[in-house]
């Protein structure tokens, strides 16, 4: 019987089945940040087990509240920093070299096809864009991952989401994933993996695939996965060039993880990418999705461009295309947070940061901050934010605030008009 | 093992997410104890008043997809710190459910019809649940009504509860 990519990765990493439907996997990487890791560290210390399974397979970053905003967040950073030092974790990224984990770690080449990865962060599913099995876990799973290099998962039933056609201009990965979540619901993929296939995915950059996989968790999925192809190889080439004699050889190797033609899926869902249009959320659940056309004219107080979903260079370039030569509405506060130090620097070199600043945006440093209402752009009671982030939960960006999720293009256009607005890049096909 | 019996808090809504259970603005807290006052602070549910409704409760009964969203284990910790170690729902979000068992807490799925009838019969009253793990059965009581509800958990989930959580289990085995 054929196997899916997730089943192949499970087969190559399995060390135990305590019961047939539970698989204990060996981990290739354990990612850590300062919000969910310190309590695991403190617990290991309290148990007299302050060890790590392999310092080179642990990657750590201070990203959620950076720079620290108060004594508690300073303490969280301090705990992670001193732990990384005492265990010789070389890949530790502190302020000045840091960035939002799910943008930073791929950028450093830490994610490879066929890898198993966990992190104490639900958006770890982002890394499935590289053909890895990457899943968010809680602090206890993270703690065991740090100590033993293993994690337990259920049998990876897979839903295949196939997107045919070509996306119209002005329609992006964010619109695609919002449309998918809108259709299958916030628990439409719970306990399952989503495998994204079809010509729309094939045509996507790695940045777009990361946006797509990033929000798989909003449909409840354990991981979102794209099959590795030449786009994957090209992205990784500077990190893997020493391991392969050519890009073709690398691709041939990665293809061993591709799902077999007779792999068994728990469901196949078809979308026509050519018929898609820009999407936006309403309400307090990520499956409450409408077209931007239906929501046009909704007043906003703040626009936030950033996060692990849409804070990459490609996202900044698209938003800058909309903002160039224009000023944002006087009633709107615009905040840009480039997702990593490197993205910030490259955006600076390309003149993108200047476009944002000329239009009236405040350019903040790389951090998760406002996306989860911790710092750098928290909403007041009753305020509305047009945001490129991933969750519109009640109170997510600040108690009593309202969040509308959208693409960077829509967010930039909305900043200019002061209301939810389609970007001029998008034109309804006649 | 933890206590899985006591007064029931009924939360009549699906898709209650972990931001509602414990908002991210409290994720800068350094101890589990510090989360206690903030449980369910942002829950969007008509008539729900955390200050009034949580006190003295030991179990939650709710609808679909409880604990969706963020991976924060702060959500089960906030429940635990308020003396709630048992959640019953039609289904749970994956990470949340695993976090419960990893902490030695109990997350049990019951069929929709059973949950519907429990809400119809017991919600809004002062109802008590007793958990018999050996017999895999709940006894629910209120003002003369009694129901005995059998439940199923896997041998693996049971082993986690009995070990006291995943750290103990994994450390002895791997």
Tens of pLDDT along chain B (174 residues) come to 899 999 999 999 999 999 999 999 999 999 999 999 999 999 999 999 999 999 999 999 999 999 999 999 999 999 999 999 999 999 999 999 999 999 999 999 999 999 999 999 999 999 999 999 999 999 999 988 999 999 999 999 999 998 888 998 998 899
> Which among B65, B94, B103 has CB closest to A140?
B103
Q: Does residue B23 lie in a domain region?
A: yes
Nearest to A328 by CA among A355, A296, A349, A353: A355
Select from B28, B65, B72 the Cβ nearest to the Cβ of A72.
B28
A chain contacts of residue B96, beta-carbon cutoff 8 Å: 138
Instruction: Tell me the domains of chain A and their CATH numbers.
Output: 5-271 (3.30.499.10), 281-417 (3.30.499.10)
Contact B157, B166 (CB under 8 A): no
> Does B28 fall in a domain?
yes
Which of A154, A187, A372 is the best residue to mutate to test the B interface, defined by the most B CB atoms within 10 Å of its own CB? A187
* H helical segments located in A255-340: 292-295, 307-310, 313-323
- Within 8 A of A378 by CB-CB distance, chain B residues are 25
Contact B69, B14 (CB under 8 A): no
For residue A186, the model assigns a pLDDT of 98
pLDDT of residue A429: 58
| Domains identified in chain B, total number | 1
CB contact under 8 A, A64 and B171: no
Nearest CA in chain A to B69: A218
CA A315, CA A309: separation in Å to the nearest integer? 9
Owning domain of residue B155? 6-173
Answer yes or no: is B1 within a domain.
Answer: no
| Distance, CA of A103 to CA of A36 (rounded, Å) | 18
Which of B32, B69, B98 lies nearest to residue A391, judging by beta carbons? Answer: B69
Residue B74 lies in a domain: yes
Helix (H, G, I), strand (E, B) or coil at A163: strand
Residues of A in contact with B63 (CB under 8 A): none
Q: Is A301 within 8 Å of A404 (Cβ atoms)?
A: no
Cβ pair A225, A194 in contact under 8 A: yes
Find the closest chain B residue to A192 by CA distance.
B94
CA pair distance A12, A254, nearest whole angstrom: 13
**pLDDT tens digit string along A36-79?**
999 999 999 999 999 999 999 999 999 999 999 999 999 999 99
| pLDDT value for A128 | 98
Residue B161 sits in a domain whose CATH number is: 3.20.19.10
3-state secondary structure of B173: helix
Instruction: Give A-chain residues touching B40 at CB under 8 angstroms.
Output: none
Residue of B nearest to A218 (CA): B69
Residue B53 lies in a domain: yes
Q: Which residues of chain A have pLDDT under 70?
A: 428-430
Please answer yes or no on whether B170 and A147 come within 8 Å at the CB atom.
yes
Q: Is residue B64 part of a domain?
A: yes
Across chain B, the runs of DSSP E, i.e. the strands, are 6-11, 57-62, 86-89, 106-109, 128-132, 137-142, 145-150
> B-contacting residues of A 131-150, CB under 8 Å?
136-141, 143-144, 147-148, 150
B64-100 pLDDT tens trace: 999 999 999 999 999 999 999 999 999 999 999 999 9
pLDDT for res A1: 86
Nearest to A122 among B29, B32, B69 (CB): B69
């Amino acid at each position: 019987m054929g196997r899916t990519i997730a089943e192949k990765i499970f087969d190559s990493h399995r060390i135990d089945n305590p019961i047939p439907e539970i698989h204990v996997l060996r981990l290739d990487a354990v990612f850590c940040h300062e919000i969910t890791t310190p309590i695991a560290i403190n617990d290991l210390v309290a148990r007299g087990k302050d060890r790590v399974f392999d310092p080179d397979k642990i990657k750590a970053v201070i990203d959620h509240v950076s720079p620290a905003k108060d004594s508690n967040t300073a303490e969280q950073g301090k705990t992670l920093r001193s732990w990384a030092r005492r265990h010789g974790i070389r890949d530790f990224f502190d302020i000045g070299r840091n960035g939002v984990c799910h943008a930073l770690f791929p950028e450093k080449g830490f994610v490879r096809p066929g890898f198993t990865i966990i992190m104490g962060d639900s958006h770890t599913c982002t890394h499935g864009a590289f053909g890895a099995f990457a899943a968010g876990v809680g602090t206890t799973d993270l703690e065991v991952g740090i100590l033993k290099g293993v994690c337990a998962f259920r049998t990876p039933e897979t839903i295949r989401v196939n997107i045919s056609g070509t996306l119209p201009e002005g329609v992006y990965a964010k619109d695609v994933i919002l449309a998918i979540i809108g259709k299958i619901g916030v628990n439409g993929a719970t306990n399952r993996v989503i495998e994204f296939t079809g010509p729309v995915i094939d045509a996507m950059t790695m940045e777009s695939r990361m946006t797509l996989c990033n929000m798989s968790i909003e449909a409840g999925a354990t991981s979102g996965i794209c099959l590795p192809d030449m786009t994957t190889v090209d992205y990784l080439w500077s990190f893997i060039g020493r391991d392969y004699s050519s890009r073709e050889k690398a691709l041939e190797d990665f293809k061993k993880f591709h799902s077999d033609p007779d792999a068994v899926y728990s469901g196949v869902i078809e979308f026509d990418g050519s018929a898609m249009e820009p999407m936006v959320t309403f309400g307090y659940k990520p499956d409450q999705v409408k077209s931007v056309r239906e929501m046009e004219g909704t007043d906003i107080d703040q626009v936030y461009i950033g996060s692990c979903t849409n804070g990459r260079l490609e996202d900044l370039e698209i938003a800058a295309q909309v903002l160039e030569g224009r000023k944002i509405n006087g009633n709107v506060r615009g905040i840009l947070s480039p997702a990593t130090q490197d993205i910030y620097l490259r955006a600076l070199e390309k003149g993108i940061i200047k476009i944002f600043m000329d239009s009236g945006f405040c350019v903040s440093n790389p951090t998760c901050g406002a996306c989860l209402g911790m710092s750098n752009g928290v909403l007041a009671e009753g305020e509305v934010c047009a945001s490129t982030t991933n969750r519109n939960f009640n109170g997510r960006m600040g108690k009593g605030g309202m969040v509308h999720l959208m693409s960077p293009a829509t967010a930039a256009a909305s900043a200019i008009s002061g209301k939810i607005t389609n970007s001029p890049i998008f034109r309804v096909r006649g | 093992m933890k206590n899985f019996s006591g007064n029931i808090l009924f939360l009549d809504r699906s898709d209650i997410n972990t931001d509602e259970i414990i908002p991210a603005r409290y994720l800068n807290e350094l101890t589990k104890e510090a989360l206690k006052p903030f449980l369910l602070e942002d829950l969007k549910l008509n008539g729900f008043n955390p200050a009034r409704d949580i006190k003295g409760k030991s179990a939650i009964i709710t609808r679909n997809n409880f604990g969706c969203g963020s991976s924060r284990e702060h959500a089960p910790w906030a429940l635990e710190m308020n003396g709630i170690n048992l959640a019953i729902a039609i289904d749970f979000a994956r990470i949340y459910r695993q976090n419960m068992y990893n902490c030695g807490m109990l997350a049990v799925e019951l069929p929709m019809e059973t949950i519907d009838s429990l809400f119809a019969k017991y919600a809004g009253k002062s109802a008590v649940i007793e958990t018999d793990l050996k017999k895999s059965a709940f006894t629910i009581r209120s003002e003369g009504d009694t129901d005995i509800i059998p439940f199923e958990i896997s041998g693996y989930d049971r082993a986690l509860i009995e070990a006291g959580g995943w750290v103990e289990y994994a450390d002895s085995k791997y």
